[in-house]
Structure 1
Amino acid sequence: MQAPLDLRLLATFVRAAHSGTLSATAIQVGRTQSAVTMQIQRLEEALGQSLFHRSGSGVRLTGNGERFLAYAERILKIHDEAISALSDKGLRGSMTFGSPEDYLIAFFPTLLRSFGSIHPDVEIKVVSAPTVELRTLLHSRQIDLALVSIPDASASRDVVRTEALVWVGSKPTLELHNFGDTVPLALPASNAMDHRAACDAMAGAGLRYRISYASNSLAGLIAVARSGLAISVMTEEAVPPDLFILNAPMPQLPRLGVLIAFAESEPSPAIEAFANHIRRILPSL
């Protein structure tokens, strides 16, 4: 009789199948790359099948690997559901959660602390990235769920919170910065929603500007704003107390909608529980 499959090997295999690299998988499962390689080899030996084509750039599924992936995902999902339904110790499991950096700073400590007090056996790993990158990670299933932004807060019924984008500077008014007739801006990278909103607002108001600094690091944008060398854009909740929100003549910026996006149409009980917790807590933070 063939030995039963090790669930830990299945979990590593699923992560590797979605990430495409064993180095990324190692980070996600908290092991070394050599340990991940050994786990994949053990699973292949147990099945008597090769699951991955290996190359210098990463791994990709073989035909048998594609077939087995669907089974592995179903086994892991049913396992989590069974544990959740029958265990008197509450939810168990792990997930990878993605969020833009400003939402992480403003909201995640409270969300994690309150959820962890209810479900201490659920492990949550965190990835920080702009919305456009988070959607790519969700599509490739490298993360399980994410807080993402949409430019029109009224465009979806699934919006759990709205956030105002604001101009931020080291002085209380634009005039006090003495920039002259061209306003230097410190913005997220050009593929970010905040970047497009800022440029559209400046163009719509007929104000001259130049982009003097571009980065997806919120800490970098804050540092430039503090230096007084440029005006930055961020969500209102992320503005540090030593910086100022600028109003006219700076044009009004839109409110973003914040919603929860999933990698799977049927998330595990632990993931669904965390999403429901976010829906309950986030609007009041």
Structure 2
Amino acid sequence: MQPSLDLRLLATFIRAAHSGTLSATAIQVGRTQSAVTMQIQRLEEALGGQSLFHRSGSGVRLTGSGERFLGYAERILKLHDEAVSVFSGKGLHGSIIFGSPEDYLIAFFPTLLKSFGAIYPDVEIKVVSAPTVELHPLLRARQIDLALVSIPDAKASKDVVRAEPLVWVGSKPTLELHDFGDTVPMALPASNAMDHRAACDAMARTGLRFKISYASNSIAGLIGVARSGLAISVMTQEAVPADLFILKAPLPPLPELGILIAFAEEERSPAIEAFADHIRRVLPSL
């Protein structure tokens, strides 16, 4: 009798194939690295002792057999999810790894998750928080399934789900009340972030003198510096806490970002499609 293939082993194999490291796979599937190694070994035994990965100190890469088997594994799981969705009568099942910048997670994700979970309680969503510039490589490596990403001009694409303005934020209602003198100190995301470039470009165009006093991709850190009154910051409007103020002139206007849904693959599971559709319906009204 031929051995059967455990769907959990297939899911772990696919994650390992896309991530290239067993440590990253362990985080994604919620197991220890040793447990992931054992799962891969069990799958190789079920396939007649085929070796699926070349292992090295820097990670894993697929063997020829692994390359051939990857397509089968992905099709098996996709068909499984579709069959369960269509015939179980219990709605969608499956697991999604979702990526998003931190400010969108703070502003939108609790409502998105709660409303989606009420409709599809059997879909598990794991979250990766990273700026847009870091989410694109994760999508290409298929370490996440879909993500909210930003583009610098909300009118540049017909696929924009929501336009979100960038705003100046401070601990006092006006820039003058901060009493910074001739040079405005700013707390900004890292220099490769859209928010950073937009803020610096806007200040340069107006001729206002400024300095970067604090740089971090952690919005909690930016909020903390803004609260201290030692610098102003820039963030999306919906992420501004109630105890901080949105600052206007003489500070220059900032652009309106566009929020898109980006996917790792063209062929997507029913759970991923359902979550993306939910985002398209709900996000514009939040």
The equivalent residue for 1:77 is: 78
What per-residue deviation string (whole Å, max 9, x for no partner) do you get for residues 200-238 of structure 1? 111111111111100000000000000111110000000
SS in 1 for 2:150: strand
Letter of the structure 2 residue corresponding to residue 24 of structure 1? A
Stretch deviating more after TM superposition (89-98 or 45-54): 45-54
The equivalent residue for 1:177 is: 178
State the distance in 2 between where 1:83 and 1:172 align. 54
The equivalent residue for 1:91 is: 92
**Structural mapping, 1:1-285, within 5 Å:** 1-47=1-47, 48-285=49-286
SS in 2 for 1:157: coil
Using the TM superposition, give the Cα deviation of residue 145 of structure 1 relative to its aligned residue in structure 2, in angstroms.
0.6
Letter of the structure 2 residue corresponding to residue 8 of structure 1? R
Letter of the structure 2 residue corresponding to residue 139 of structure 1? R
Using the TM superposition, give the Cα deviation of residue 2 of structure 1 relative to its aligned residue in structure 2, in angstroms.
1.9
State the distance in 2 between where 1:125 and 1:5 align. 24
Using the TM superposition, give the Cα deviation of residue 34 of structure 1 relative to its aligned residue in structure 2, in angstroms.
0.8
Using the TM superposition, give the Cα deviation of residue 20 of structure 1 relative to its aligned residue in structure 2, in angstroms.
1.1
State the distance in 2 between where 1:83 and 1:46 align. 24
State the distance in 1 between where 2:181 and 2:63 align. 61
State the distance in 1 between where 2:137 and 2:183 align. 35
Letter of the structure 2 residue corresponding to residue 11 of structure 1? A
Q: What count of residue pairs does the alignment treat as equivalent?
A: 285
Using the TM superposition, give the Cα deviation of residue 82 of structure 1 relative to its aligned residue in structure 2, in angstroms.
1.2
Using the TM superposition, give the Cα deviation of residue 281 of structure 1 relative to its aligned residue in structure 2, in angstroms.
0.6
Using the TM superposition, give the Cα deviation of residue 158 of structure 1 relative to its aligned residue in structure 2, in angstroms.
0.9
State the distance in 1 between where 2:264 and 2:77 align. 15
TM-score, length basis structure 2: 0.98
Using the TM superposition, give the Cα deviation of residue 120 of structure 1 relative to its aligned residue in structure 2, in angstroms.
0.5
Using the TM superposition, give the Cα deviation of residue 53 of structure 1 relative to its aligned residue in structure 2, in angstroms.
1.1
Letter of the structure 2 residue corresponding to residue 239 of structure 1? V
State the distance in 1 between where 2:158 and 2:32 align. 42
State the distance in 2 between where 1:12 and 1:24 align. 11
TM-score, length basis structure 1: 0.98
Letter of the structure 2 residue corresponding to residue 116 of structure 1? G
Letter of the structure 2 residue corresponding to residue 258 of structure 1? I
What per-residue deviation string (whole Å, max 9, x for no partner) do you get for residues 30-69 of structure 1? 1111110000011111212111111111111112211211
Letter of the structure 1 residue corresponding to residue 6 of structure 2? D
State the distance in 2 between where 1:18 and 1:266 align. 15
State the distance in 2 between where 1:177 and 1:258 align. 32
Letter of the structure 1 residue corresponding to residue 101 of structure 2? P
CA RMSD of aligned residues (A): 0.8
Letter of the structure 1 residue corresponding to residue 229 of structure 2? G
What per-residue deviation string (whole Å, max 9, x for no partner) do you get for residues 145-204 of structure 1? 111111111111111101000000111111111111111110001111111111111111
State the distance in 1 between where 2:180 and 2:64 align. 61
SS in 1 for 2:246: strand
State the distance in 2 between where 1:76 and 1:198 align. 45
* Runs of at least 4 residues off by over 3 Å: none
SS in 2 for 1:79: helix
State the distance in 2 between where 1:64 and 1:189 align. 42
State the distance in 2 between where 1:75 and 1:206 align. 59
Letter of the structure 1 residue corresponding to residue 232 of structure 2? I
Structure 1 unaligned blocks of 5 or more: none
SS in 2 for 1:233: strand
Letter of the structure 2 residue corresponding to residue 33 of structure 1? Q
Structure 2 unaligned blocks of 5 or more: none
Letter of the structure 2 residue corresponding to residue 115 of structure 1? F
Letter of the structure 2 residue corresponding to residue 117 of structure 1? A
Using the TM superposition, give the Cα deviation of residue 253 of structure 1 relative to its aligned residue in structure 2, in angstroms.
0.3
